[in-house]
Structure 1
Amino acid sequence: MSEKNRQGKLSARDRIAADRRREEAREKRRKSLVMGAVVLGVLVVVGGVGAAVTIGKKGSTDSAGPVVAPKGATGEDGLAIPLGEKSAPSVLTIWEDFRCPACAQFENGFRSTVHELTASGKLRVEYHLATLIDGNMGGSGSATAANAALCAQDEGKFPAYHDVLYANQPAETTDPYAEPDKLLALAKKVKGLDTPAFRDCVSGNTHRAWVAKSNEKFQQGDFRGTPTVILDGKDVFKNPKPAFTPERLKELVEEKAAKG
């Protein structure tokens, strides 16, 4: 092979390699931009439970129509969904998003303990709903699932349906919760929920303005992301010592209950 041909083949090979490196670099930058938009802190694991720091686009209630609060909503502007006795000595405030993987990690890990403490009258939970993943990833599953959960609240089935949504949460990068049919199918897992009123509420997106208003409230707050979990006024994932676990939650709640 002549020197000229050898150099030509090397040059072609070098060009192919260079093209491949440029394509890999472009793909790496694209993935970095996507991940940066989705999660600012990726996933901070505290005591075995994820706390995702997310930045969402601010929503607005301007085009969402009138605010229709679900039955039993309490708190400022009626934006909290309560669980447990009003007289419970401890209050757990939870801001979460039905598409948020860290929220599912928290809920699935703490579920039995939270239910045990609320049933005993020692703990009251106030759920607040946000739609950060819709803003970060696109889609509408956070908002649509939140509306369906509020429709379940109207039927007195919020806790059970809330748990079903987290137990069956799809991958964050997909958006099946945007489809009413998916949410209606999951309602069949909750005894007595699949009623005409519930189906109409889900299909009609009855509480969409309430959901938008709740998300605006979250955006206005000084929160790190979802889930934000506050026990008796203290953010449990902010420098927790010792780590906040289901056992630690039970210990703190029972200590306060014992003090009367």
Structure 2
Amino acid sequence: MSKRTREASAKARIAAQREALRKQEQRRRMTMVVTVAVIAVVAIAVGWWSIAQSASEKVTGNLAPISIQEDGSVVMAQRGVTAPVVDVYEDFQCPACKQFEETSGSTLKNLAAEGKAKVVYHVITIFTDEPTKSNSLRAASAARCLTEGSQWMAFHDKIYQGQPSETAVGFTADQLVKWGHEAGAGATGFDSCVRGEKNVAAHQEYSSKIMSALKLAGTPTIMLDGQSLEDTAFVPSALREAVLNAAK
């Protein structure tokens, strides 16, 4: 191999090495840009959720009177308050419903206590697959075993605190009975009502009726005088403002 050929070959190797290093650096920079972008998006999402959470209200006093209706819905309102009406369509197994309760549940309780709204809870089952369907049915059936409004609300809160994942069997009879007793249930027949799942049929009938009539896309669905609040419901300050404006 001639000197000129060796030099040309060396130059070619150097050029190839430089090109490889250039591409490697380009990939490194691209990876860094993508990583930074992902971190930024996550930070924004976490920041928004943190703001929403930090803005969540605390229950400031006694709850408004709570009454259980014949169809299984539950009304929370001061006597004489009939409007505006906030309807809460929820499934005890629904993770987003738990998030709504943690974020905005106290706002609804406060608004009802202040006499600013009539809040109506509608527990339904939207799941069709297992184990979520049976989990939801057991919890909803157990809630219908309660006869006093204050007990129902305490049980409602405990249900969300103990919500199982969507891939696990949960809301066992033992758990539901325990939470019911902690909520104040002492009526004769409560335990057998829960363990026998005596209200499943009534609950399923009510769920079907609601889903058919309202064509709900999912839960939670929060409606103010019949109009969906969508994302507003997850921002306590915006939820309060919407209800107060409707009360004017």
The TM-score by the shorter chain falls in which range?
Answer: 0.5 to 0.7
Q: Do the aligned residues in 2 keep the contact of 1:128 with 1:214 (CA within 8 Å)?
A: no
Give per-residue Cα distances to partners, 1:153-190, cap 9 Å, x unaligned.
x133111111110122111211211x211101222332
* Residue deviations 1:13-37 (CA, integer Å, cap 9, x gap): xxxxxxxxxxxxxxxxxxxxxxxxx
Corresponding residue number in structure 2 for 1:171 = 165
For residue 79 of structure 1, report the CA deviation from its aligned partner.
4.8
Q: Which amino acid aligns with 2:69?
A: A
Deviation at 1:91, TM superposition (A): 0.9
Report if aligned partners of 2:222, 2:233 keep a CA contact under 8 Å in 1: no
1:249 pairs with 2:243: no
Q: CA deviation at 1:136?
A: 2.5
**Which amino acid counterpart does residue 247 of structure 1 have in structure 2?**
S
Asked if structure 2 preserves the Cα contact closer than 8 Å seen for 1:84 and 1:121, the reply is yes
Q: Is there any run of 5+ residues in structure 1 with no aligned partner, and where?
A: 1-46, 50-70
The structure that has the greater radius of gyration is 2
Look up the equivalent residue of 1:207 and give its one-letter code: N
Deviation at 1:200, TM superposition (A): 2.5
Partner of 2:120: 126
Is the Cα contact below 8 Å between 2:100 and 2:233 reproduced in 1? Answer: no
Distance (Å, rounded) in 1 between the aligned partners of 2:233 and 2:89:
19
Q: What CA deviation, in whole Å up to 9, does each residue of 1:226-255 have, x standing for no partner?
A: 111111111111xx5x78511111112223
Does the aligned pair in 2 maintain the 1:97–1:142 contact within 8 Å?
Answer: yes
What SS class does the counterpart of residue 127 from structure 1 fall into? strand
1:93/1:229 contact within 8 Å kept: yes
User: Do 1:88 and 1:122's aligned partners in 2 also have CA atoms closer than 8 Å?
Assistant: no
Q: How does 1:13-92 map to 2 (within 5 A)?
A: 48=49, 72-73=68-69, 78-85=71-78, 87-92=81-86
8 Å CA contact 2:93–2:164 kept in 1: the answer is: yes
Equivalent runs, 1:84-103 vs 2, <5 Å: 84-85=77-78, 87-103=81-97
Question: What's the secondary structure of 2:145's corresponding residue?
Answer: helix
The answer on whether the counterparts of 2:90 and 2:219 sit within 8 Å (CA) in structure 1 is: yes
Partner of 2:223: 230
The aligned residue for residue 44 of structure 1 is none
2:148 aligned to 152, 155, 158, which one? 155
* Code of the aligned partner of 1:141: N
Aligned ranges 1:97-116 → 2 under 5 Å:
97-116=91-110
Distance 1:198 1:155 in 2: 12
User: SS at 1:188's partner residue?
Assistant: helix
SS in structure 1 opposite 2:197? coil
C-alpha displacement at 1:142, in angstroms? 0.4
- CA displacement at 1:132 relative to structure 2: 2.0
* 8 Å Cα contact 2:74/2:122 also seen in 1: yes
1:197 aligns with 2:172: no
Q: Which amino acid aligns with 1:72?
A: I
Give identity over the alignment, percent: 34
Task: Kindly report which structure 2 residues correspond to 1:2-13, keeping only aligned pairs within 5 A, or say none.
Answer: none
Against the structure 1 CA distance between its residues 129 and 217, is the aligned structure 2 distance closer, same or farther, given a 3 Å change threshold? same
Deviation at 1:149, TM superposition (A): 1.1
Query: Would you say 1:208 and 2:174 are equivalent positions?
Result: no
Cα deviation code 1:50-80 (max 9, x no counterpart): xxxxxxxxxxxxxxxxxxxxx8316xxx352
Give the CA deviation at 1:224.
Answer: 1.2
Contact (CA 8 Å) 1:92, 1:126: kept in 2 or not? yes
Q: Distance in 1 between matches of 2:168 and 2:187?
A: 27
C-alpha spacing 1:168/1:193, structure 2 compared with 1 (3 Å): same
Q: Distance in 1 between matches of 2:99 and 2:234?
A: 13
The letter of the residue matching 1:230 is M
